[in-house]
Amino acid sequence: MTSGSSGSSADGAGERTPFGVRLRAAMDAHGPLCAGIDPHRALVEAWGLPYTLAGVERFAMTCAEAFGGQVAAVKPQSAFFEVFGSGGVALLERVVAALRDAGTLTVLDVKRGDIGSTMAAYADAFLRESPHAPDAITLSPYLGYESLRPAIDLAHATGRGVFVLALTSNPEGASVQHATLDGVSVARSVVSGAAVDNAPARGRGELGSVGLVVGATVGDAVRRLDLDLVGAATPVLAPGVGAQGAGPAQLRDVFGAALPQVLAASSREVLGAGPDVRTLRDAARRTADALRV
C-alpha cells in the first residue's frame, strides 16, 4: 500500500509538506472530522448491497465520492478490505487513490506494531513513496514506543504521519494503558514519546506529524495525559463520535484545552446516511460543521 498523497505538493526545496501542517490546514478548511469507511457486513447489507467484493466496492467507492474534497480526512479500516484477500487490498488502494485525487487526506487504520526488520517492513509497505500510499497510518506501541521508530522516521522523511494508540475506549485496554511504571502510566509515556518527536514542529508553531489515538468516550482519564501541555503540538485522532455516544459537548468535556488538536472520527453515524452520495455527503458536512471549535 504505499503515494503522492492528497495535498502533498512539494515546497520550493523539493520536500513534501509535513503531514501535521497539511492536517492543520485541512481541519481549518473543512472542520475537524475524519469520516470512516468501514465496510463491515451489517453496514454493507443495510445499504441493500451484497456482502461480496462487488458490494464492498460499491460501498467504498460511494464513500470516496461523497467524502472526497468535503472533509478534513477519511479513515478506511483496512481489516474490512483485507478480509477479501488480494482483491480487497487492490480495492483499498483504489479508495486511497480516489481520495488523494480529490485532495483529501487519508488515515489508514491498520494498527501495525512490531520490532526490528519486521517493523521496518511494515513502514515500507505503508509509508514509502508509491501511487497508493495513505497520508498516515495507525500504529500500536505495545512492544514499546521506540519499536515504532522505523515507521516514525520514514513518515517524517516522506511527509506522512502516524497515529499511535494511547488511550482507547475498549474496556480491555485499561489494564495495559493505565498500568504504571515509576508512577507514569503507559498511556502517558506514549504521549511523552510523541511529544519528543513533535518538538521541532512545536518550536515552529506547527502541528506535529506523530499523532495519538485517544477515544472520545474515555472521560476524565484524558486529563492525566497532559495533552494541552506536554502534547500541545500533537494531533489527536478521537474515535467514538456519533453512534458511540460522543458529540461536540462531550469532546469539549473530555479534551478541554487540547480540543483544537482533535480530529474527531465518526463512522457508523455518517455511514448510516448512505447509500445515496448526496445524503452521505450532507451527513458528513453536518457532522464536520457541528464539531468546529
What residues are annotated to the active site?
111
130 and 158 Cβ atoms separated by less than 8 Å: no
Cα 195 from Cα 189, distance rounded (Å): 10
211 and 162 Cβ atoms separated by less than 8 Å: yes
Cα 122 from Cα 112, distance rounded (Å): 7
Beta strands in the chain (DSSP E): 33-37, 73-76, 105-112, 136-139, 161-167, 180-181, 184-185, 210-214, 236-239, 262-266
| Phi and psi torsions of 50, nearest 5° | -75, 145
270 and 285 Cβ atoms separated by less than 8 Å: no
Beta strands in 26-160 (DSSP E): 33-37, 73-76, 105-112, 136-139
Cα 155 from Cα 149, distance rounded (Å): 10
Q: Radius of gyration (Cα) for the chain, nearest Å?
A: 18
Question: CA angle at residue 43 from 161 to 263, to 5 degrees?
Answer: 30
Cα 216 from Cα 166, distance rounded (Å): 12
3 and 132 Cβ atoms separated by less than 8 Å: yes
Q: Which residue has the cell 508509491?
A: 130
16 forms beta bridges with: 10
